[in-house]
Structure 1
């Protein structure tokens, strides 16, 4: 290994080995290259800001003791690592070898991957488990074969009567387990047959209703060899990981689909346009800078391409930038054609991502001119497949929201509509304690300077001191004038509220468009949890027992402002949603 003194670390290989041994013990490993490169970049940037450090990393040219130079190419890949790969080969001890150097692909059969732990390698290399009477474990000790014992499996054991009994017991248990599994399989098969029989007699409501369509699994049409159902177009520097993940998602949810991804399917860059032309659709991942370089295809050629579908990354930490930025960077002669394509926004949270996948699959069906693009699609794990929660509670109200929390009333109305008119809410402070939870709507104006923000802060602080549950809703809808990042909202929040734990519960993002239904469903689940297991709300037998005890004793045992239930869950089940606004 190179032994010169590193420019950043000030160590050579021997110094590093000694320092590593002193700090951690055992053989040295080389995580130092990443730490040295990062430390050098931070010092040169003179800042811990992400953009500044990233810029410094791109211009790195660092000489260290473990390599002649560390640098990165235009794609962000590391260059200049020139030390050899060494490994203890199998049977090295018997051959009198210590290690061998692995240089080229011809020697790949001698490489063990993943690399075993040091203790396991030491045990195997030194032949500790005598003459094949045991195997080396990960901790370097020997796991002896039956009839052998000792640290090195050198001792021969004589079987005892107790050992023979244990063998018989184990055999009996194994036979019993096999018999149990066979019986379970038979019962399962009979239940499946019974279920199919019942389905044939009582068909789902969707089948009985005229014009209704059941959700279905999507299967791509057959294609000749050399053609693809969709071409995944992305920017390498900011969209490579997303494109790989998207390909996996498409293959999981669309049967028989054949997506084209350059890292998997491109064998010759000169054939790239040919592969695009051999695709039934093109998904363009909008991440980072997607400016079209000089020499881009002419607009006539763009119009001859397969149908485009735009997929917009929304997370800035994964290359997401606003759509207007992508639109501005697109050449004038291409802009109208490119942005006339359907757009799907891509979210990171699983429930929203499932919604994005459904929208994307629908657009693919339209691009393929497949029948039934307007029919429901089945995706496992889709939150909206099940009806909204019943919101059972012994309290007279589900949520309270402050009249000083601008926008909260509109959010409560949206929640009520999504709940099937189950939600009962109010902004009357006199009824606040009758609600299961405090609904707090968060946007750029929630805690901005002003009298309303101060009044809201006092209400929230009082509710926190009373241990009342909160349901937080974070405004994320595009075009909303009050939309703000959560970091900005936290920064504007009074310190007293932050210290009191206002942000202990996780805020639910309120997205617009098709993702709004997912947002409201998640909010309903938070409210249902607060009413069913928190905020004094209890359900089922425990709720009935508590109501009866309050009525018999005349005491408000759960401190909800009422003796007994003012409106039971059964009475509320068929009632309309109400939003009480104080005058």
Structure 2
């Protein structure tokens, strides 16, 4: 263990007084003496850990596997094994998801010993249809009979969480199995949180994809199944399109690479030649999503496509992790709606 040094104050004591410890994994985190005092104390005291990963290397981040390797080997399993890791994001919609996941992890970590005040107040509410904040009301019938209620815990900044309690004893402050509590970001919502566009306002639109763009087909079919007025079709189109055509291009570690790279480039050239069909770009940046930094995509992109201003628009972020994927689909639906309405 790293000895506590005077210049670091009482970090170990502060960890001991904490209920949950959040580790923000950025470049150099495990090389920091101050951070070492904190995570070593947290492991030694058995404190619940929440891992938040900064993957953007331009913001001081590093690949997740590098963070694992940087962690001292004797502590690696205790820090990482079986523990969910929250990917930190800076774009508003995706940062909301990251914050919700952090709150969810805190609630799960503390859910084994919920405050008695929650049991006394017996809060219960339902998510309003219009996306506003629900007001707490009387608890559900049968609460005192040992049923499994859903309790809404109010937080700050308009954040609400619905926690499925395994038994009423959990509400009364008794210890329960930590693994019996499950809380994802779907159980949390924010006031004025972005919503999926259910129907395109200005009529039908065809989202075109290339078979040589790995992953684009699945995304196009998924958004078409969620948004009325949107259909998906492989390029080149075999039938007359329904309304305006918007090509979809997924930028990841495989784009414009390998045997299919030139065939994809040929189809993208067709899109660029038809100025009315500006491609909609999605960018997967995380390595665990099969992504890569945008600079790597640029290096593989044929020069003529760069000069044709393929990247004149900002690409929407894309993720495979379910919570972030839902937010990406919301952003995609809004972009399609705006393009059609323009």
TM-based fold match above 0.5: yes
- The residue that corresponds to 1:109 in the other structure is none
Instruction: Select 1:347's aligned residue among 89, 93, 108.
Output: 89
Aligned length: 261
- The residue that corresponds to 2:255 in the other structure is 446
Higher Rg of the two aligned structures: 1
**Structure with greater contact order relative to length (CA < 8 Å, sep ≥ 6):** 2
Shift of 1:288: 1.0
Aligned in 2, Cα 1:292/1:520: closer, same or farther, shift over 3 Å? same
Query: Which consecutive unaligned segments of at least 5 residues does structure 1 have?
Result: 1-266, 534-583
Aligned in 2, Cα 1:456/1:522: closer, same or farther, shift over 3 Å? same
- The residue that corresponds to 2:335 in the other structure is 526
Q: Does 1:465 align with 2:273?
A: yes
Q: Does 1:367 align with 2:89?
A: no
Instruction: Select 1:281's aligned residue among 4, 20, 39.
Output: 20
Shift of 1:472: 0.9
* Secondary structure of the structure 2 residue equivalent to 1:368: helix
Instruction: Select 2:47's aligned residue among 303, 306, 321.
Output: 306
- The residue that corresponds to 1:405 in the other structure is 213
Instruction: Select 1:378's aligned residue among 184, 189, 193.
Output: 189
- The residue that corresponds to 1:427 in the other structure is 234
Query: Which consecutive unaligned segments of at least 5 residues does structure 2 have?
Result: 1-5, 115-150, 152-161, 164-182
Q: Does 1:358 align with 2:169?
A: no
2:20 touches 2:48 (CA, 8 Å); kept in 1?
Answer: yes
Q: Distance in 1 between matches of 2:31 and 2:265?
A: 48
Aligned in 2, Cα 1:337/1:453: closer, same or farther, shift over 3 Å? closer
Shift of 1:445: 2.8
TM-score (norm. length: structure 2): 0.67
Deviation per CA, 1:14-63, whole angstroms, max 9, x where unpaired? Answer: xxxxxxxxxxxxxxxxxxxxxxxxxxxxxxxxxxxxxxxxxxxxxxxxxx
Shift of 1:305: 4.3
* Secondary structure of the structure 1 residue equivalent to 2:313: coil
Q: Distance in 2 between matches of 1:379 and 1:350?
A: 12
Q: Distance in 2 between matches of 1:494 and 1:301?
A: 50
- The residue that corresponds to 1:388 in the other structure is 197
Q: Distance in 1 between matches of 2:306 and 2:41?
A: 57
Root mean square deviation of aligned Cα:
2.9
Aligned in 2, Cα 1:501/1:294: closer, same or farther, shift over 3 Å? closer
1:472 touches 1:506 (CA, 8 Å); kept in 2?
Answer: yes
Shift of 1:401: 1.4
Q: Distance in 2 between matches of 1:472 and 1:277?
A: 47
TM-score (norm. length: structure 1): 0.41
Q: Distance in 2 between matches of 1:290 and 1:449?
A: 36
1:283 touches 1:310 (CA, 8 Å); kept in 2?
Answer: yes
- The residue that corresponds to 1:337 in the other structure is 78
Q: Distance in 1 between matches of 2:294 and 2:289?
A: 15
